[in-house]
Chain A
Amino acid sequence: MTAELVRGQNHPLSQARLEIRVSAGTPIVAGATLGDEQGRIHGVEWVAHPGAPTLPGLEVSRQAAADHRLAVDLDAMPEAVHRVSVLLALPTGVAGPTRFGAVATPFVAVTGLDGTEVASYTITGLEAESAVVALELYRRQDAWKVRAIGQGYAGGLADLFTDQGLPQAHQLAGGINDAVAQGMARSVPAPPPRQDGDRSRQAAAPALGPDQGGPAPQGAAGSVPPQPASPYGTQPPGVPGQTPPQPNAPYGAQPPGVPGQPAQQPSYQSGTGAADPAQPSAPTSGGPINYSHPRRQNAAPPPPPPTAPPAQPGQPAQPVAGDATGWSMDERLYNQVWGMFEDLARTTSAYRSAVDFAESRMEKELDQVLSDPRSRIGGQGDAAREAAQAKHTELVNQARAALDRDLTQLTAESEVVEPALPAAYARWDNPVWHGYRVPMEIPMALRLGDLHLPESAQLRIPMLVRLPLERGLWIDSGRGGSLDGSFTDSHDLRRLAMDTAVAHAARLLAVYPAGEFTVHVVDPAGSGAQALVPLVQTGVLAAPPAVGAAGVADVLARLTQRVDLVQMAVRGGAPDSLPPGFDTSEQLLIVNDFPHGFDDRAVNQLRYLADEGPAVGVHLMMVADREEAAAYGPLLDPLWRSLMRLTPVPDDHLADPWVGHAWTYEPPLVPPGSQVLQQVLAQVAAARAKYR
């Protein structure tokens, strides 16, 4: 039976293998420290944290999340360890709450492997603290016990480690924050919330905003209008819950009438003078708030979406492309793709949890057979063992059947959706690229590649991100990016990374209207010349790739000046006062071979561009191996953190925003031998010439 612990209370632990479940309203860091008899940490190798998630007998998660499961095996603990402290901390250096007083009360539970709760503890009374020791597992006369601690530290992890006698407390705390921020840079940004009644999907995420559930903010922002009978409908305005704390994400073209904004609710923070009609401070009366501009009319109602023909009894409905809500076909397809993404994440989660359960149940039953003396006589033991295995097989088969049913449906949907995608969302081998015309409008989103899970390697989900880009891209040419180590030749990998960068840049050039997207290239040593041929030959670049230190300095100086100028104009409220002939297009800077050819001044300019650029339409695409810039130490960490990491080879480094599976990312490469890139770029170049 569960023991609900109060602060200071202890409880015996009968099992050695345990799970510690943590749930909090916001993404937090979970870790554990090992201590000796006096509770002192002997060194950094006695701390399990996202940067070093595994220790003997202990495993914590690699990223900040609202829910954690820490695995503990007390039998595997070294003899010297007498104390395991479970700690929670708020991530620093990213947008989000910085004190536990501002978030929902964290809850921790010690459970057996089968999920039975042994003890639980709700950590109440936290205020300015940003790190807390939640629980302590400790050895007493060869038996382990758990004690509820709840000791918070306003100085964060550094204070916590110092208190436990770790000399390198500050360095370690910094390292953990760094690892966490990297984890955040690895996650796919959550889609904007959407209304999607007919597909029974919503963008609500498992984690909730800070106003959920905590005892303090009664009725603060959280009044939900009475839900009409419509199921799975709108996300209520009081639920600003999106899992990953993405750096500010004011999605450009928010569909009108969608009430819930992503966590930061940017629409009324970034008001640039436009009258805000909806008075979002008083959302207590019923009805969703409309954040759209009052004078911007959507003249005609959208054409009705294609609807699926009624299904035969007993058969799932035939999938139809664009079978989702939206004001245009592009938006419907975007929503449909994100819906497929979420469905695949969740159905796989259902499958994995069923298989996990089947395995833990079989283990338990086999243990029982072993410990039962009667089973040693005759065939009873064997029969029981076989029965346990049969139960396991049956459940796994059922789970697989359910997964297969869902995969069949999603595959059928994917088969109709993929051919219907517009160029910006389509693979390079899609025929839509052969009929390519330079568009008149900026599309809603861009395909950065494909995502898939190991259970369904055939089913590829397009990875769509909203345009304009909110963060720069980092094409990792490091060897660590290779999944199976097959690309041991770093030269090949570099070449492939540059090819990937060119494919991404070409796609961006192609989906923007003529003259509204400009690409600059910095290639100090000229090593990317071969890969850059498609861009250079067709003449779509603003200028030939800059080479040498002087070239780098020149390009960076111009872009830095541009960011400064636009910022000044925007801040001064006079965006019209930019000099005549000023190029107002979005800018992309491809940087090859960083940090070669970069002096300290250039590095600083690059960091400035990464920080300030996206807000004024200047984006970075770094093609780099982080190892090579290691000499700069932590100086560059914020830079890497601010970029979205993509790889030139398949790599499972991206997490979905709902359940956090590790998805394998595949870059969108042009099929070998295809001339589609050159043809498309030739059209772009022709259109640009006309535009000038």
Chain B
Amino acid sequence: MTKGQAISLQKNDGGSLTAVRMGLGWQAAPRRGLFGSRTREVDLDASAVLFADKQPVDVVFFRHLVSDDGSVRHTGDNLVGGVGQGGDDEAILVDLARLPVHIDQIVFTVNSFTGQTFQEVQNAFCRLVDETNGQEMARYTLAGGGAYTAQIMAKVHRSGPGWTMTALGTPANGRTFQDLMPSILPHL
């Protein structure tokens, strides 16, 4: 799907989707010569910001792994990346049915904690997956994506009884989600 495109998370048979996963994967920095320990590791972080009426009310990121209500869970911080073979190194799982009723938007972001831009990171991608059937709904290739250290990926928001996902893909700069708040707000 492309930027700005919205897809409804309503199933064809009328039942709505209940769980989405944001996955983030990248390749570990290559070892350099004999002094392998001196490689500069790449640490990307996935975050989800929960909004109620355009006010941020909760954030799930590497320092707060489970939202207070338990509906959004981060699988844990990965500091070095994986093998870049397509698996997710960090993931955030959202149980849409269990979200508190006042939460109406969730924005997913990716940051480079160690400061490398996406140009310097290999095989980096982020994606949104329908957790019920494993189908990928959106995928961005971050690697080679320009001199940015962050991306505001997508938002999932309430529409009628169900949820809709809108791909954003806006590049930004920042170390953690706090730095991104000014760039997130226009998308709400």
Contacts and interface: CB of A to CB of B under 8 A. Distances in A.
Binding between chains A and B: yes
Interface of A: 1-2, 4, 23, 25, 67, 104, 107, 114-117, 120, 200-202, 204-208, 212-213, 218-219, 222-224, 226-229, 231-233, 235-236, 238-239, 241, 342-343, 346-347, 349-351, 353-354, 357-358, 361, 395, 398-399, 401-402, 658-659
Given A218-B114, A227-B91, A232-B73, A206 B78 contact: no
The 7 tightest CB contacts between A and B, nearest first, are A346-B70, A350-B69, A350-B100, A398-B101, A236-B76, A226-B87, A354-B102
A239 B69 contact: no
A399 B100 contact: yes
B65 A342 contact: no
A354 to B, nearest CB: 4
Q: Is the interface of B mostly helix, strand, loop or mixed?
A: loop
Interface stretch (B53-61, B118-126, B147-155, B163-171): B53-61
A115 B91 CA distance: 26
Contacts of A218: 41, 43, 79-80, 114
Interface in B134-187: 134, 178-179, 181-182
Contacts of B66: 202, 204-206, 658
Contact of B102 (A116, A228, A353): A353
A195 to B, nearest CB: 13
B178 A353 contact: no
A350 B71 contact: yes
A227 B87 contact: yes
Nearest to A114: B55
Interface string B82-100: 1100011111010100111
Nearest to B50: A353
Given A350-B71, A350-B100, A402-B100, A238 B77 contact: yes
Nearest to B85: A226
Interface in B1-59: 19, 21, 41, 43, 52-53, 55-58
A399 B62 contact: no
A224 B83 CA distance: 12
Contacts of A213: 62-63, 77, 113
A399 B101 contact: yes
B95 A226 contact: no
Contacts of B65: 204-206, 208, 239, 241
Chain B, interface size category, equals 35 or more
A353 B100 contact: yes
B76 A239 contact: yes
Given A206-B64, A343-B70, A357 B57 contact: yes
A232 B102 contact: no
A484 to B, nearest CB: 29
Contacts of A361: 53
B102 A358 contact: yes
Contacts of A231: 19, 21, 93, 131
Contacts of B55: 114-116, 357
B19 to A, nearest CB: 7
A394 to B, nearest CB: 9
Contacts of A219: 41, 79-80
B149 to A, nearest CB: 15
Contacts of A401: 101
B70 A342 contact: yes
A42 to B, nearest CB: 36
B80 A223 contact: yes
Contacts of A117: 56, 181
Given A227-B89, A357-B55, 6 more contacts: A115-B56, A204-B65, A212-B63, A227-B75, A231-B131, A350-B98
A354 B102 CA distance: 5
B182 to A, nearest CB: 6
Given A67-B64, A239-B76, A349-B69, A357 B114 contact: no
B73 A204 contact: yes
B102 A357 contact: yes
22 contacts: A116-B55, A202-B66, A205-B65, A218-B43, A219-B80, A223-B78, A226-B83, A227-B91, A231-B19, A231-B93, A231-B131, A241-B65, A343-B70, A350-B98, A350-B99, A350-B101, A353-B58, A353-B100, A354-B102, A357-B53, A398-B101, A402-B100
